[in-house]
Structure formats: C-alpha cells, structure tokens
Amino acid sequence: SIATDAVGPTQLNEASNYAFTGTVTGTPTGLNNAQMWYGTANTQLSSTHAKYTAWSAHNGSQIGSIGTALTVSSGDIQFPSTGIWLLKSRFTYYITGSGQVRYVLSQIRISTDSGSNYTLVDESINNLVNVNSGNNDFTITNNEYILDVTDASTTRAAFYIAGEDTSPYVESYNKATIFQALRLGDT
C-alpha cells in the first residue's frame, strides 16, 4: 500500500508538502538573460549594406533586464555566455518630403571569428512610399533569429541596413529602432 503523502507509481499528491534534500537535476532553468537596446542616431542609408553601430542599453520607464549585459561595440554584439539566444529587431525608417524608394532592409549577420567575417542569417525588406503629401513617411522592418552561441568569446552578431538609395534614414526618435536578446536555454 502506498501512503497518501508519498510519490505513487504515476502521480505526486499535490496537496502534500515535500522536503527535498540534495540537488534536483534535469529541471529547466527558465529565461536567465534578457536585454533590450535602442538606436541612438538617425542614420542615412546607402545602397551598400552597412553595419548599424549606434546602440545604447535601453533606459526607458519601467524597463527590465535579466542577467549579465551584452557587450555592444561599434555595432558588434558579444554575448555574455553560451546558450541558445533569440535575437529580435525593429528598424524604423523615414523619408522626407515626397520621396519614396522601392526598398529599405535590415539584416542579422553572425560571426564566429570575433567579428572578422559575418554571414547573413535573416533579412527583412519593406518599401517606403510617399503617402503623406510632402511630409515624412515611415515604415519598419522586423528580424528574428535563434542563435546557438557555442563559444561566447568568438561569436558576434550585428545588424546591417541598406536602401535603394541615400534618401531614407533609420529613425532613432523615441526609441523607434530597437533590438532584444533573450537567452532561451543552454546550448
């Protein structure tokens, strides 16, 4: 016979209290790192892909973060630990007056050699049309990528931007351009 406050063959009596001793293993750790950064400079696009470099740790009202901060230098994002990381970005673009372009784009690129070489892993494209009769017009791109950081000392990420020509800009006003990095679990 099995006691009502013990572990049975198929269930645990949830109405009982249990005093565990030792180490419990095999349990998920949950999200243990979450950071948000924002773009600090309106940046003119070109038809050549360029690394966006104007990032600052988000400091908005009620902003939260978990864990050790990322290191971001000259647009190169270095991770504080190995693991499976979710990268998300939102780039907001504007064009002045009655201008329009066929495309603006943002990319996530990854390096495994400390930023010497980057490989494209995600791209988002949108057009920017004149709908506001001579006033500024806006559009956004969104990127997402799940990255396996197996070596935190050499893995880097970066966001690249480009446009059909030099008339559009990345918008930084009121934290309109952001990226997030969330560590989902162990590698």
* C-alpha angle 55-143-134 in degrees, rounded to nearest 5: 75
Q: Which tokens in the block code for residue 31?
A: 């999200």
Distance CA 132, CA 146 (A): 37
By C-alpha distance, which of 137, 155, 166 is closest to 87?
155
Determine the average pLDDT of the residues in 170-174. Answer: 93
Give the whole-number percent of the chain exceeding pLDDT 90: 72
Distance CA 86, CA 183 (A): 6
The pTM for the full model equals 0.83
Contact 88, 165 (CB under 8 A): no
- Residues 132-149: tens digit of each pLDDT: 777 889 999 999 999 999
- Residues 30-65: tens digit of each pLDDT: 789 999 999 999 999 999 999 999 999 998 889 999
